[in-house]
């Protein structure tokens, strides 16, 4: 259940939030939705792919964080702030409602024991809340830009399904389906005018960032495989 209300400094003056990465607070996602403005930094560490929304069937962009349901192999790095954490994880219990910021009061991150206050004694937004307002300014237009990017690729027939297969040292296999990427051959065959259009709109760069980011899939598999090695088990059980 959720209870999303517009945030205001009077009724939510005392509200506190658990801001740190934690599985039980919603970081347990093997594939998290991202927006195109994040691609340059995401592509340094994560495979960026497309998937379909289970409720609408519409495509969205996402970063792959793990192989199994609920598995986030980057949790340690996120906790230590060594790696960029996707905006959709950073935003925690916050949403936008029109131009307002809204909060889900039923979200597990919202609790009196939370490590971050939203407002100071005078009712001014804390640094934490200001950072949330800042990331929403990226996330909101980013969603619209991402949608147009996807629609453009779809209209050029450039998106194709892809299955990621991995074999691990404990003898198990994973086959991750429901993922999509850009078809390289059809990209090569595009007419010049379409290529120039993609370039001018910045989409060609996004496409190549996505394709390059696929190189992180083996790294991600290695990361998971390390959990099966001696010394990795305690971390593996921590993820379960």
CB of 159 to another protein, least distance (A): 6
d(CA 213, CA 39): 9
Nearer to another protein, 54 or 240 (CB): 54
d(CA 172, CA 165): 11
Answer whether 130's CB lies under 8 Å from 138's CB: no
Place of tokens 């379409």: 194
Which positions lie near another protein, rule CB under 8 A?
A: 52-59, 154, 159-161, 178, 180
Residues 6+ apart with CB under 8 A from 196: none
CB of 29 to another protein, least distance (A): 17
Nearer to another protein, 54 or 69 (CB): 54
DSSP 8-class letter at 123: S
CB of 52 to another protein, least distance (A): 4
d(CA 157, CA 62): 19
Nearer to another protein, 189 or 192 (CB): 189
Any bridge partners for residue 48, and if so which? 63
CB of 58 to another protein, least distance (A): 6
Nearer to another protein, 37 or 51 (CB): 51
In this structure, the number of other CB atoms found within 10 A of the CB of residue 95 comes to: 18
CB of 48 to another protein, least distance (A): 18
Nearer to another protein, 59 or 84 (CB): 59
d(CA 93, CA 3): 10
Which two structure tokens, joined as six digits, stand for 114?
């939370």
């Amino acid at each position: 259940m959720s209870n999303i209300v517009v945030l205001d400094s009077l009724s939510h003056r005392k509200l506190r939030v658990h801001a740190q990465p934690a599985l039980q607070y919603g970081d347990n996602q093997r594939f998290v939705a991202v927006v195109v403005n994040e691609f340059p930094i995401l592509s340094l560490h994560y495979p960026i792919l497309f998937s379909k929304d289970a409720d609408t069937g519409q495509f969205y962009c996402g970063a792959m964080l793990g192989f199994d349901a609920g598995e986030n192999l980057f949790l340690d790095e996120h906790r230590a702030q060594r790696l960029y954490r996707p905006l959709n994880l950073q935003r925690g219990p916050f949403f936008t409602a029109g131009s307002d910021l809204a909060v889900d009061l039923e979200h597990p991150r919202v609790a009196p024991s939370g490590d971050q206050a939203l407002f100071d004694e005078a009712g001014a937004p804390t640094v934490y809340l200001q950072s949330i307002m800042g990331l929403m300014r990226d996330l909101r237009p980013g969603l619209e830009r991402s949608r147009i990017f996807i629609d453009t690729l779809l209209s050029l027939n450039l998106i194709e399904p892809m299955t990621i297969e991995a074999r691990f040292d404990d003898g198990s296999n994973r086959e991750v389906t429901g993922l999509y990427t850009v078809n390289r051959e059809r990209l090569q065959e595009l007419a010049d005018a379409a290529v120039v259009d993609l370039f001018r709109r910045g989409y060609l760069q996004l496409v190549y960032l996505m394709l390059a980011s696929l190189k992180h899939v083996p790294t991600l598999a290695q990361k998971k495989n390390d959990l099966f090695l001696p010394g990795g088990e305690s971390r593996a059980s921590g993820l379960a």
